[in-house]
Amino acid sequence: MFTVGLLAEAACALGCLIVVITWVRDRSTKSYSWWVIGFLLSALGVILAAQRHALPQLSELGIPGFFALFGVSAFWCGLRVFEQRPLPRLALLPPLLWALGLPLAYQSYALRQVDFNVAIGTATLLVGIDLWRSSFREFSTRLCIATICLFETVVSYSQAVVLVAMRDQIGQGPLRGWLTFAPFQSAVAMVAIVVLGILMTGERSQRRLRELAMSDQLTGALNRRGFFESSAAKFTNRSATSGEIAVALFDIDHFKAINDRYGHPGGDKVIAEFAQRVARAIRPSDIFGRIGGEEFALLLPDTTINEARLMVDRVRAAFAETPVLFDKTEIAATVSAGISIANTQEANLDQLISGADSALYAAKRAGRNRTSILRAVAQHDREPPMSVRSSS
């Protein structure tokens, strides 16, 4: 058991050290504090369990088990915080099972082991199911951790059954021979979870860097790169069903005059306010981004020409009717829009962007604060390839 305890302590120390180092470098992630607490509680539980003969009263009262189980609960809370989800209501169930079983197993070492195996198995079952539900659709480190937790559950429950059957032979312990497989395997699993936890935090950092690289800092919308990459992915994954897809380009009218009159902070406020209004109006499936200084793009999949026009005109009219409040001053601003639409199966992103750009310039030439629509004609039609119309 010394080897098992040493391995578990080493895993806790390694995990705690890694989390502390990561926490120092990233103070914004609150889950690290939960994981540090979890490692410390688990390590203290292992140390006290190793002193069973020196401190028999602590062992009989189940103190080492409480530390270990509360440590697992803290890990689970940290995972929930890491994924920006509410704390689990069942986090205290494993320690409660341990506490309820102690009076029945107080005089028997074997039955105390049964009680602990049931409690720790329930803990890993709850964590495993929670992670599995949130990651079963893709292979990820969370799915690996969920698999390890569920395997731990099977091992713990199986050991509990064996311990009940062999309680007379075990007596007052300790466990020997193949009965030490479960705690040894748990220690190995803890090391694996530490390694996978490192990978998970690394994935989170990479995802954050990618989001920063794909987002516009001023508006929070996608930047030019993010819009084109997300739109290209939408075209790659388009279904075989018929339908239409549209691209709308927006350009804030007379933006240089706004900057000259209100300064760059006022211009930035107008840009940010327009982006927020568009973001509130679009569907979850739409892709919106800032692709230039005062120019924005919107991809509208599965949209008819009338639906695209109505949505764009609604945003454009609302922006014109409600001034932007900046430093107790109302800034009146308008926007011009160009729409290009084509059949989903025949559509090409570059052609749609080019068509929407032509329509946008048509709207500006027609007097600004209006929408121009350019519709791609199907290849089998004999009419001219494009047609343009405007609405104010």
How many helices, marked H, and strands, marked E, lie in the chain? 13, 8
Query: What DSSP element (H or E) covers 55?
Result: none
Report residue 252 as tokens: 């804030």
Question: d(Cα 363, Cα 285) in Å, to the nearest integer?
Answer: 26
What's the rounded Cα separation, in Å, for the pair 29 and 80?
Answer: 12
Rounded to 10 degrees, the C-alpha dihedral 95/99/104/107 comes to: 100
| 316 in Cβ contact with 251 (< 8 Å) | no
pLDDT of residue 6: 61
pLDDT single digits (tens) 37-82: 888 888 888 778 777 667 777 777 788 889 888 988 988 898 888 8
Q: What is the pLDDT of residue 387?
A: 42
Specify the pLDDT at position 389.
47
Compute the distance between CA of residue 277 and CA of residue 299 in angstroms, rounded to an integer.
16
Q: Supply the pLDDT for residue 2.
A: 46
pLDDT of the residue at 10: 65
Residues in the chain where the model's pLDDT stays below 70: 1-16, 18-19, 22-29, 52-53, 136-139, 168-192, 194-208, 211, 238-242, 375-392
Environment class of residue 159 by beta-carbon count within 10 Å: exposed (0-12), middle (13-18) or buried (19+)?
A: buried
Look at residue 140 in the predicted model and tell me its pLDDT.
72
pLDDT score at 116: 86
Greatest distance between any 2 Cα atoms in the chain: 94
